Amino acid sequence: ENTDVSLRIMAEHARSSAILVNDGVFPSNEDRGYVLRRIIRRAVRHAYLLGSEKLVMPAMVERAIDVMGEAYPDLERNRDFVTGVIVREEEQFRQTMRNGLAIFEEEVAKISPATVAVTATVPTPGIRIENGVLPGEVAFRLHDTFGFPLELTTEIASERGIGVDTAGFDSAMDEQRRRGKDARKVAGQTDEEAGVYRELLDQFGQTEFTGYMDGESKGRVLAVLPTDGDGSVEIFLDRTPFYAESGGQIGDTGSIRTDTGLAEVLDTTFALPGLRRHVARVVEGEINSGQEAVAAIDVERRDAIRRNHTGTHLLHWALREVLGPHVKQAGSLVAPDRLRFDFSHYSAVTPEEIEQIEDLANHEVLANDRVRAYETTKGEAEAAGAIAFFGDKYGDVVRVLEAGKHSLELCGGTHVKALGDIGPIKVVSEGSIGSNLRRIEAITGTATIERLRHAEHVLDAAAAMLGVRPDQLVEGVTRRLDEVKALRDEIKSLRQQQAGGDATELATEAVDGIVIARRDGTSRDELRELALAVRQQPGIRAVVLLGAPEGGGAALVSAVANGSGLHASELIADAAKTVQGGAGKSADVAVAGGKDPSKLDEALQQVRAAAGLA
């Protein structure tokens, strides 16, 4: 009966997982991604119950696609992609599950060690613990460290007749959330501040935004509120060209001027949805509620932001063209100096793919098609093919951005008028930011030219140092590296010759076949080569060399011959401690370093004692 239940759960979860991944959901710890992760992990856990040590989801997902492919053609087309995502999640969870189940078994043993055998890492149906309760902090640790949802822990525990302290789990979870909230809080809102903002919104309504068309506009000061500590104020206007940070685009800066004062706007944010807040510093006179004001953004800064924001849309389209339609935006930052775009994808983007993405985006820039923004209903926008993102909230009326012939997205940001205004687009970095999440950063416009110019300056300087033209730099570097290698080989040969002469001289100082000497100004590597050369001399049983290298500190090398009856590391163990260092454990050759060269003479005597020569 239990086997039948497990098989049914696995089959159902394979089907559900395939549908979710095909819809663009990736395993994660939030929202729909968390639901998918729980489904996959529960299926894997039941595979464990059946004793399966191999991956089970690939074959089951393949079979589910076979069955549903005719009804869901997209599922068939995305077969490899869907299977790959689920396989990676199963592989990751199987590793963490082994560790987590071991912890679970240890805790079960603590509850009732006399009645439960805890030799397996897989829960064994039929084992019962009467009146046992798994502590909430253990359930939380399984969740936090090993990714066990509480439901999974409860299910495993119930098969043993064990309860779970859910109140304790909730308490631990609340404490973690409190710590996280405290850590994230930079400048929170008090209830009093929220009340003032609400009154402004109720009294005057939402701020009219004029910034799509204008960089400067007249308005009326509704309120000037002080902030804590830094001397800045919050200025509220009835209408403003300042874009408030949202949708990844950072807030505008600029100035607000009245008849009696001037304020420098440092940032623009939303105090409440629809209520724009200008964080500013009054630099001349004073600004008061009720005054007429002229609000002007930093146009040059805004233009750079426009280029980067529209560039983000082109990159999004190019990413989907190159990597596949599963790519979806998962976050962004649009600043004047760069753009950052987070997206769903299951592997690193290769350099060749980056080049394809750049080429596609720049081809659109060179085409210089117009950029058009318009408002319509959400349904009409979706019918036209506009991309909306899961998790974003949209009203009945939405703003659509049409960036050329290929990019159509819902977006409330500010943009260029034509794609050619963006200028050249260059991706400067790509990397992972989480499970199935990637991030690229890019630059546009003059920033790309500045980067190219800087690279040219570096190449010119490097070429001049090598005495070649910039286009001959690789050949010049290769030639110099070959010269350096030849010189190093020559130096090594000379050192070996010198070490051979020094080795012969040191061998004459041997006592009972043991050489103990000090050589300052010699690097650790040179000291080691010399010690090995001395060991090769006839009649030498062991050699220990100590010295103070030119770079500072202390160096000790010990080498013993086979059949000498001596141990290399033991000869210098005490001496290494004396110079505030430590030695390796090798029996034939041991090297040690230390911080205090002033104790080398004392260390030398300790080596003689260890060798039986004191």
Determine what percent of the chain is predicted with pLDDT higher than 90: 52
Q: What is the mean pLDDT of residues 79-92?
A: 85
Identify the pLDDT of residue 422: 97
pLDDT tens sequence across 375-418:
999 889 988 988 876 456 677 789 999 999 999 999 999 999 99
Say how far apart CA 534 and CA 515 lie, in whole Å.
8
Q: Which of 22-31, 150-159, 287-296, 469-478 has the lowest mean pLDDT?
A: 22-31
Say how far apart CA 254 and CA 250 lie, in whole Å.
13
394 in any annotated domain: yes
User: Do 498 and 581 sit in the same domain of this protein?
Assistant: yes
Instruction: Domain of residue 600: give its range.
Output: 490-610
DSSP-assigned letter for residue 122: S
pLDDT tens sequence across 137-148:
888 888 877 767
Judge whether residue 315 has pLDDT over 90.
Answer: yes
Identify the pLDDT of residue 543: 94
The CATH number of whichever domain residue 326 belongs to comes to: 3.30.980.10
471 in any annotated domain: no
User: Do 58 and 151 sit in the same domain of this protein?
Assistant: yes
Tokens of 372: 């058009």
User: Do 127 and 227 sit in the same domain of this protein?
Assistant: no
| Those residues with Cβ within 8 angstroms of residue 376's Cβ, 6 or more apart along the chain or in another chain | 384, 397, 398, 400
Domain boundary among the residues 383, 411, 444 is at 444
Tokens of 512: 């009972």
User: Do 9 and 152 sit in the same domain of this protein?
Assistant: yes
477 in any annotated domain: no
Say how far apart CA 213 and CA 210 lie, in whole Å.
6
Number of domains within the chain: 4
Task: Tell me the whole-structure pTM to 2 decimals.
Answer: 0.61
Name which residue leads in pLDDT, 562 or 128.
562
The CATH number of whichever domain residue 555 belongs to comes to: 3.10.310.40
User: Do 153 and 229 sit in the same domain of this protein?
Assistant: no
User: Do 514 and 581 sit in the same domain of this protein?
Assistant: yes
User: Do 46 and 143 sit in the same domain of this protein?
Assistant: yes
User: Do 315 and 280 sit in the same domain of this protein?
Assistant: no
Name which residue leads in pLDDT, 31 or 181.
31
DSSP-assigned letter for residue 287: -
| Residue 122: pLDDT band with limits 50, 70, 90 | very low
Domain boundary among the residues 413, 444, 475 is at 444
User: Do 327 and 254 sit in the same domain of this protein?
Assistant: no
pLDDT tens sequence across 281-309:
999 999 998 889 999 999 999 999 999 99
485 in any annotated domain: no
Q: What is the mean pLDDT of residues 133-157?
A: 81
| Residue 181: pLDDT band with limits 50, 70, 90 | low
Identify the pLDDT of residue 186: 40
SS3 at position 521: coil
| Residue 162: pLDDT band with limits 50, 70, 90 | confident
| Residue 123: pLDDT band with limits 50, 70, 90 | very low
| Residue 190: pLDDT band with limits 50, 70, 90 | low
Name which residue leads in pLDDT, 108 or 375.
375
User: Do 289 and 357 sit in the same domain of this protein?
Assistant: no
Identify the pLDDT of residue 589: 92
Name which residue leads in pLDDT, 49 or 593.
593
Sign of CA dihedral 192, 196, 197, 199: positive
451 in any annotated domain: no
Identify the pLDDT of residue 114: 39
Q: At what angle do helices 57-68 and 2-22 cross, to 10 degrees?
A: 70
pLDDT tens sequence across 484-507:
999 988 887 887 777 667 888 888
Judge whether residue 549 has pLDDT over 70.
Answer: yes
473 in any annotated domain: no
575 in any annotated domain: yes
Q: Which of 9-23, 145-159, 187-201, 530-544 has the lowest mean pLDDT?
A: 187-201
Determine what percent of the chain is predicted with pLDDT higher than 70: 92
| Residue 191: pLDDT band with limits 50, 70, 90 | low
| Residue 157: pLDDT band with limits 50, 70, 90 | confident
Name which residue leads in pLDDT, 98 or 123.
98
Judge whether residue 558 has pLDDT over 70.
Answer: yes
User: Do 382 and 499 sit in the same domain of this protein?
Assistant: no
CB atoms near residue 484 (< 10 Å): 10
Judge whether residue 185 has pLDDT over 90.
Answer: no
189 in any annotated domain: no
SS3 at position 83: helix
Identify the pLDDT of residue 187: 42
How high does pLDDT run on average in the chain?
87
